[in-house]
Amino acid sequence: MRKFFAPASIGNFCVGFDSLGAAIAPLDGQLLGDVVYIEEAEQDTFKCVGEYAHKLPSNQEHNLAYQCLTHFRAHVKVDMPCVALTLDKRLPIGSGLGSSACSVVATFAALNAYSGTQLSQVQMIELMADFEAKVSGARHYDNITPCYLGGLQLTSEIVPDRAVALATDQNWHIVVAFPGFALNTAQARSVLPESLSLSQSVEFAQRLAAYTTLLQQQRFSDAVKLMQDAIAEPSRAPLIQGYADASVSLPELGAEVVSISGAGPTLFALCTSYEVAKRCQDWLSQHYVNENGFSHICKFDNQGTRELA
C-alpha cells in the first residue's frame, strides 16, 4: 500500500485574492491535511475514513476523491489496474484551509504515481482545478497550487506553468485558528462585491505587484506592511463570529498581520517570532476556538504533496 499526503493551505494570503496561496505545516510535526491510501485490488473500491469523514456525502459517487478516480480512469489512464482507494479526511469541511483541494490533490497525486502516467505540472494542476471548481464554482488555483507544490505560490491560468514560487522569511510564524464552525464557500463568495472601481482595481494591482516583488528581493518587513485585504475581508468579516475582536486583540499581542484564511472562518496571524505566535495562539484558544476547533503555530510547508513512508 502507498500513501500520499496533501497539506492544508491559506488561500488569498491576505493581499492576493484568488491568486496567492500558502501551504502550511504545524511546528509540532502534525500532518495538517488529507492522506490518500492506494493499492491494487480486484475491482475499484473507495472508502472515506478519518475525523471529518462523517461530514462528507455517504454516497461515494458524490465524494470528490471518488470522482477523481473515475475521471482519471476514463480520461487519463484507461488501462490502469483496479485500485482500492481510501481517503483519510483530516481537514474540516468549510474551514477555509483548502479542505476540498486537499482531497483532490492527494487523490490525483496518488493516481498519477501509482499508474506511472508522469503528468506534467500544468496537466496535474489543471486536472485538480477542474475538480476544485465543482466545489467553489470556478477554477480557483490559490489552494490547489500551494497544496500540490508547497510554499507560497503566485498562481493563475495566465501564470507560466500556473505557478511562481515566492521567497518567504524564515522568521515568519503563522498561527491558524479554526473556530469550530463551518462557513459555506458559496455563501462566503456571495457577499463579495460584484465589481471594483477603477481606483480599487489599480490599488489592488499595485499592492500585489509590490508585495511579490519585495518578497523576491527579500525585503520582508516592507512586504508585510502591504498585507491588507480590501477586497474580501470587509465583506466576509461580519460572517465570522469573533473575528472582529481577534483582528483588534492579536496585533496588540504583537501579530504583524491578521486576516481570513481563504473564505474563512479560519483566521491566520502572521508573527515574526515564536514567542509572539504563542501569545496569539493562547488568546485564540481562549477567545476564538470552541470545543470543535483547533489552532496551530505553523511554518510554510515547502514540500507540498508527497508520498509518505
Q: Is the pLDDT of residue 194 over 90?
A: yes
State pLDDT tens for residues 159-175. 999 999 999 999 999 99
92 annotated ligand binder: yes
Task: Tell me if 242 is assigned to a ligand binding site.
Answer: no
Residue 138 pLDDT: 76
Answer yes or no: is 304 a known binding residue: no
Does 97 appear as a known binding residue?
yes
- CA-to-CA distance for 115 and 73, rounded, in angstroms? 10
Which cell is 260 given? 481570513
Specify the domain boundaries for CATH 3.30.230.10 within the chain.
2-161+303-308
DSSP structure class, residue 39: E
Please state, rounded to an integer, the average pLDDT across all residues of the chain.
96
Q: Please, how many CA atoms are within 13 Å of residue 195, restricted to the half-sphere of its CB? A: 2
- How confident is residue 252, by pLDDT bands cut at 50, 70 and 90? very high
Q: Calculate mean pLDDT across residues 185-193.
A: 90
Q: Residue 283's pLDDT is what? A: 98
**CB under 8 Å to 286, separation ≥6 — which residues?**
none
Fold classified for 173-299: Alpha-Beta Plaits (3.30.70)
List the Cα angle 41/44/48 in 5-degree steps: 100
Look at residue 93 and tell me whether its pLDDT is greater than 90: yes
The reply to whether 269 sits in an annotated binding site is: no
Chain segment 216-243, per-residue pLDDT in tens: 999 999 999 999 999 999 999 999 999 9
Q: Is 101 annotated as a binding residue?
A: yes
Q: What is the mean pLDDT of residues 192-198?
A: 95
> In this predicted model, which residue has the larger pLDDT, 281 or 131?
281
What is the mean predicted confidence (pLDDT) over 86-111? 96
Residue 140's pLDDT is what? 87
| Three-class HEC string of 61-129 | HHCHHHHHHHHHHHHCCCCCCCEEEEEECCCCCCCCCCHHHHHHHHHHHHHHHHHCCCCCHHHHHHHHH
Asked whether residue 187 carries a pLDDT value surpassing 90, the answer given is: no
Asked whether residue 293 is marked as a ligand-binding residue, the answer is: no
Q: CB of 65 within 8 A of CB of 84? A: no
Task: Please indicate if the annotation marks 95 as binding a ligand.
Answer: yes
pLDDT value, residue 191: 95
What are the two backbone dihedrals, phi and then psi, of residue 60, each rounded to the nearest 5 degrees?
Answer: -60, -30
Q: Is 166 annotated as a binding residue?
A: no
Half-sphere exposure of 152 (CA within 13 A, CB side): 19
Q: Which residues are CB-contacts of 156 (< 8 A; sequence separation ≥ 6)? A: 18, 19, 141, 162
- Please report how many Cα atoms fall inside a 13 Å half-sphere around the Cα of residue 1, on the Cβ side: 8
What pLDDT is attached to residue 269? 98
Segment 23-29 mean pLDDT: 97
151 is in an annotated binding site: no
Known binding residue 96? Answer is yes
Of the chain, the percentage scoring pLDDT greater than 70 comes to: 100
Confidence bin at 12 (pLDDT 50/70/90): very high
Mean pLDDT computed over 40-62: 93
Q: Where in the chain is the domain with CATH 3.30.70.890?
A: 173-299
- 92-to-195, 207, 300 alpha-carbon distances in Å: 31, 31, 20
CATH class for the region spanning 2-161+303-308: alpha beta
pLDDT at residue 57 in the model: 86
Note the pLDDT of residue 113: 97
